[in-house]
Amino acid sequence: MRVASGRTARLIYTWEARLRAGLPFAFIALAAVSASTLPLAGAEAAPAKPESKAAAKAEYVGSETCQTCHEDIFKAFQKNPHAVVDAGKRKKQWEGKACESCHGPGSKHAESTEKADIIQPAKIRPAEADRNCLGCHLNQVTQVGRVQSGHAHNQVACVSCHSIHAQKENPAAGRSRAAELNSQCASCHPSVWAQFQRPYKHKLPEGMMSCVDCHNPHGSFLPKSVAMSTGNEPGCLKCHGNKRGPFTFDHVPVQMEGCGACHLPHGSANPKMLTRHEVRNLCLECHSNVARPAAPVSNGLGGIPPAIHDLRSPRYQNCTTCHQKIHGSYVSRGLLR
Ligand code: HEC
Ligand code: HEC
Ligand code: HEC
Ligand code: HEC
Ligand code: HEC
Ligand code: HEC
Ligand code: HEC
Ligand code: HEC
Ligand code: HEC
Ligand code: HEC
């Protein structure tokens, strides 16, 4: 692990940490999920049938039958991304039956017009509703971390966020609609939204960025559903690429603990969004004057500043005036330049 390059080291570290944290269980779950849905997730396979006692005995009648009574929905649906299902361009076995791919077979309902005879995905159990959606969407890259996501664990269903019929063009909340998306996330995460009201934060309240610039709402292999960029790097590097390295002289916590060791990306009282108001308090949390453990363990956490550092003198209080390359340096072991 020590000889691995920065990126590989991070990768190994992440996986090692997760294995220790019990990932095998998640893995088994993942394997189980994919095993049970694999035949369904293939290009030509059917998604899991939405299940309900009511619809169980019904037959498929086709979307045009639904049109006769649900004209408005049917018309609007022609601009929905799922219209390609009706057209047979994707998921061929559902050609002409797109409505029923989510609502289940509709012959009984078409006769009775009773609500009880048709499935409404937003009204059934989240696990059941999700199984149906995942019948077609499981094999997509965005969903791979789902088994670990806080949303999957807490019954936040696909349809809690995706409103299939309400949006005409695209039911996915895209980047162009950052403000709308933020308010949706904020509706369930008010305390996180409050953090964005601090003086120094990313420009979410201004609608310039959104939660999904940093999080994958479907889950991720990084903790807290933090989005990944190029492989398993933290999503921060998508925009702050100059912090990526690999550097000749790494500042260890940047590589090993990640950006969150020093920054509060949701907002902070420090202009550089640090976890502490003053820079030195942050540094001294790790570089404090703690007793050195005996060899062969080196000098503990981050080592202590050498004696030339008179911490009472204002000159030494803003550590980053000298240690400028705090994220890693190409030339200075002491991160000075
Ligand atoms: C003969 C007319 C008719 C046809 C055909 C029809 N529906 Fe309906 N549907 C209705 C009516 C009326 C309601 C409202 C029932 C109520 O409010 O009690 C309804 C309600 C619904 C609901 C809401 C259920 C709920 O729990 O809120 C869904 C979903 C639905 N229909 C889907 C479909 C689909 C899919 C098809 C095609 C397979 C279809 N309908 C065909 C008349 C029809
Ligand atoms: C991708 C899955 C999906 C497809 C395809 C789909 N629906 Fe829906 N439908 C939903 C969901 C989810 C809801 C719950 C409300 C929402 O999220 O918009 C819903 C709600 C409804 C309702 C109830 C609306 C209400 O106001 O209560 C009707 C009626 C309906 N759909 C008819 C249709 C018809 C007709 C088609 C085909 C033209 C269709 N649906 C295709 C997922 C789907
Ligand atoms: C019959 C298969 C099928 C089912 C079931 C299905 N989808 Fe889809 N979905 C598709 C296809 C095909 C597209 C078109 C996307 C594309 O072009 O790749 C799509 C598109 C989408 C998009 C927009 C993607 C984009 O790139 O803009 C969202 C969001 C979505 N589906 C969510 C859902 C949800 C939520 C459910 C469950 C209520 C669901 N889907 C059920 C096949 C399905
Ligand atoms: C319907 C309510 C709801 C909505 C909408 C919602 N969340 Fe969540 N979210 C939850 C719940 C419940 C949890 C699990 C409890 C917790 O960790 O607070 C959670 C957890 C999380 C976590 C912790 C992740 C983890 O895997 O442990 C993140 C990050 C998150 N949500 C981001 C988002 C983002 C981004 C959006 C908007 C796209 C969003 N949430 C929308 C309810 C919601
Ligand atoms: C917490 C809210 C939330 C939940 C729960 C959620 N999604 Fe999404 N989904 C989003 C957002 C936000 C986007 C837009 C992401 C972006 O623009 O980067 C999205 C995008 C998508 C897309 C578009 C293509 C892609 O992969 O980015 C599909 C397909 C999709 N979701 C399907 C699903 C399915 C299926 C489920 C349930 C298993 C689900 N989503 C659950 C919020 C959610
Ligand atoms: C600039 C990147 C960034 C943005 C934008 C962002 N987050 Fe986060 N968020 C993070 C990081 C990094 C963590 C993980 C911190 C850690 O490791 O403890 C996190 C943690 C979380 C958590 C779990 C920890 C907690 O505080 O409960 C939730 C929930 C969450 N974010 C929700 C959101 C929501 C909702 C939004 C949009 C309003 C959002 N985030 C926007 C980077 C971001
Ligand atoms: C979508 C792009 C994007 C992502 C992803 C992103 N940032 Fe930023 N970040 C920005 C922009 C743009 C600014 C400048 C904001 C401003 O001027 O108000 C910024 C500013 C900052 C600053 C303050 C810089 C300064 O000079 O004021 C820090 C610290 C920071 N980001 C850390 C992070 C961390 C940590 C993450 C990951 C959790 C992250 N960012 C993810 C775009 C991003
Ligand atoms: C060991 C603590 C630490 C870690 C870990 C860390 N940073 Fe920083 N970061 C700082 C300090 C301290 C500053 C302020 C430097 C100054 O005072 O000029 C800073 C400043 C920044 C800035 C704004 C100034 C600049 O250099 O552009 C950005 C952007 C930033 N960090 C992003 C990140 C990202 C992305 C990560 C994760 C890859 C990260 N940081 C990890 C301590 C850290
Ligand atoms: C999360 C803990 C942590 C924080 C916070 C932290 N460091 Fe470090 N730092 C370390 C570790 C661990 C090392 C590696 C020590 C080693 O290799 O023995 C290190 C190494 C260094 C080195 C290089 C020492 C050498 O000879 O290799 C300097 C200089 C340094 N840190 C300065 C700072 C400054 C200035 C800050 C505040 C902006 C800071 N650190 C914040 C943990 C931290
Ligand atoms: C006036 C400039 C200056 C300031 C301010 C400063 N340092 Fe240093 N620091 C140095 C120099 C010079 C070295 C020696 C670098 C070398 O050996 O390459 C050093 C070395 C270090 C080392 C490495 C010790 C080792 O074992 O090699 C650490 C850790 C460190 N400083 C932490 C801090 C912390 C924490 C602060 C803020 C409280 C701070 N420094 C403020 C100039 C400064």
* 111-124 per-position pLDDT tens digit: 999 999 999 998 99
User: What band does 150 get if pLDDT is binned at 50, 70 and 90?
Assistant: confident
Element (H, E) at 128: helix 126-137
Decide if 137 contacts 102 (C-beta within 8 A).
Answer: no
Taking CA atoms only, the protein residue closest to ligand 2 atom 41 is 99
Instruction: Measure 236 CA to ligand 10 centroid, in angstroms.
Output: 27
Element (H, E) at 278: none
Closest to 132 measured CA to CA, from 123, 168, 75, 111: 123
Instruction: Measure 161 CA to ligand 1 centroid, in angstroms.
Output: 23
Ligand 9 within 6 A of 279 CB?
Answer: yes
Angle (nearest 5°) at CA 65 between 60 and 69? 130
Radius of gyration of the chain (CA): 26
State the CB neighbour count (10 A cutoff) for residue 205.
15
C-alpha distances out from residue 100 to 37, 67, 79, 310, Å: 19, 12, 17, 73
Ligand closest to CA 262: 8
pLDDT at 95 over 60: yes
User: What band does 46 get if pLDDT is binned at 50, 70 and 90?
Assistant: very low
Ligand closest to CA 236: 7
- What mean pLDDT comes out for the span 11-24? 36
pLDDT for 233 equals 75
Ligand 3 within 6 A of 50 CB?
Answer: no
Q: Report the distance separating Cα 57 and Cα 39, nearest Å.
A: 23
Strands 249-250 and 328-329, how do they pair? antiparallel
- What mean pLDDT comes out for the span 218-246? 83
Decide if 239 contacts 230 (C-beta within 8 A).
Answer: no
Taking CA atoms only, the protein residue closest to ligand 9 atom 41 is 283
pLDDT for 299 equals 55
Element (H, E) at 228: strand 228-229
State whether the Cα torsion 236-237-238-239 is positive or negative.
Answer: positive
Q: Report the distance separating Cα 292 and Cα 145, nearest Å.
A: 41
Burial-class residue 96 by CB neighbours within 10 Å (0-12, 13-18, 19+): middle
Ligand closest to CA 266: 6
Query: In whole angstroms, what separates CA 92 from the centre of its chain?
Result: 30
Q: What is the pLDDT of residues 185-196, one digit of tens each?
A: 999 999 999 999
Which SS3 state, helix, strand or coil, does residue 266 take?
coil
pLDDT for 306 equals 81
Ligand closest to CA 143: 5
Which residues sit with their C-beta closer than 6 Å to ligand 2?
Answer: 63, 66, 70, 73-74, 77, 82, 98-99, 101-103, 120-122, 159, 163-166
Which residues sit with their C-beta closer than 6 Å to ligand 8?
Answer: 236, 240, 243, 251, 253-254, 259, 261-263, 272, 274, 279, 320, 326-327
Decide if 117 contacts 58 (C-beta within 8 A).
Answer: yes
pLDDT at 155 over 80: yes
Ligand 3 within 6 A of 85 CB?
Answer: yes
Ligand 7 within 6 A of 258 CB?
Answer: no
In DSSP terms, 215 is beta-bridged to 226
pLDDT for 97 equals 92
pLDDT for 75 equals 92
| 215-233 per-residue burial string, b: 16 or more CB within 10 A, e: under 16 | bbbbbbbbeebbbbeeeeb
User: Which positions ≥6 away from 75 have C-beta within 8 Å?
Assistant: none
Q: Report the distance separating Cα 329 and Cα 227, nearest Å.
A: 26
Query: In whole angstroms, what separates CA 108 from the centre of its chain?
Result: 40
User: How many helices, marked H, and strands, marked E, lie in the chain?
Assistant: 16, 4
Instruction: Measure 158 CA to ligand 5 centroid, in angstroms.
Output: 7
- What mean pLDDT comes out for the span 196-222? 90
Taking CA atoms only, the protein residue closest to ligand 8 atom 19 is 272
List the alpha helices (DSSP H) in 42-79: 53-56, 63-69, 71-77
